[in-house]
């Protein structure tokens, strides 16, 4: 009885592992992404669209998004 329980537990664990990794898809590695706190964004970062516009238009980065508990605008670029 104990052996069948071990076999069932091992099969269940393997099934859960396969299901968890099946949805991940392929991993693309393009290089590192460097993040910088925005110098030009003023105020609380409420939408990532505003942050992205400031980072790309005025600070010459690839993009930006709101991050953190206090919502700061963080710009990023590939480095």
This prediction's pTM: 0.58
> At 70, is the pLDDT very low, low, confident or very high (cuts 50, 70, 90)?
confident
The pLDDT assigned to 20 comes to 53
For the chain, which domains are there? 2-78 (3.30.30.10)
- Phi and psi, residue 4, nearest 5°: -70, -35
Tens of pLDDT, residue by residue over 5-50, are: 677 676 666 555 555 544 444 444 567 889 999 999 998 898 899 9
Strand segments, DSSP code E, in the chain are 33-37, 63-67, 72-78
- Find out whether 36 and 76 touch, Cβ atoms under 8 Å: yes
Q: Using CA atoms, how far apart are residues 25 and 2, in angstroms rounded to an integer? A: 36
């Amino acid at each position: 009885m104990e052996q069948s329980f071990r076999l069932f537990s091992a099969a269940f664990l393997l099934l859960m592992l396969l299901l968890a990794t099946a949805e991940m898809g392929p991993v693309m590695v393009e290089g590192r992404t460097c993040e910088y706190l925005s110098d030009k964004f003023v105020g609380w970062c409420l939408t990532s669209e505003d942050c992205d516009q400031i980072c790309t238009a005025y600070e010459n980065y690839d993009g930006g998004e709101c991050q953190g508990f206090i919502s700061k605008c963080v710009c990023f670029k590939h480095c």
